[in-house]
Amino acid sequence: SIDEAFLDVRGARRLWGSPGTIARMLRARVRDETGLTCSVGAAATKHVAKMASTLSKPDGLLIVAEADTAAFLAPRSVRALWGVGPKAAEALESRGIRTVADVLETPQAVLERALGPAMGERVWNLARGRDARAVTTTRVEKSVGHE
- The second-level CATH assignment, the architecture, of 74-127 is Orthogonal Bundle (1.10)
19 pLDDT more than 70:
yes
Per-residue pLDDT band at 1 (split at 50, 70, 90): very low
Q: What pLDDT is recorded for position 145?
A: 53
112 a catalytic residue: no
Q: Look at 8 and 96; give whichever has higher pLDDT.
A: 96
Architecture of domain 10-66: 2-Layer Sandwich (3.30)
- For residue 11, the 8-state DSSP code is G
What confidence tens digit (pLDDT) does each residue in 92-115 have?
A: 999 999 999 999 999 999 999 999
Spot the catalytic one: 4, 33, 141, 147: 4
User: Taking the domains of the chain in order of start, what are their residue ranges?
Assistant: 10-66, 74-127
Angstrom distance (rounded) from CA 8 to CA 15: 14
Radius of gyration of the chain (CA): 18
| pLDDT at 8 (0 to 100) | 79
pLDDT in tens, 37-54: 999 999 989 899 999 999
- Whether residue 144 is predicted with pLDDT greater than 60 in this model: the reply is no
Q: How confident is the model at residue 139 (pLDDT cuts 50, 70, 90)?
A: low
pLDDT of residue 18: 87
- Angle (CA) 44 47 52, round 5°: 80
How is residue 57 annotated by DSSP?
T
Q: Please indicate whether the domains covering 10-66 and 74-127 agree at the CATH topology level.
A: no
Amino acid in position 111? L
For the segment 82-93, the average pLDDT, to the nearest whole number, is: 96
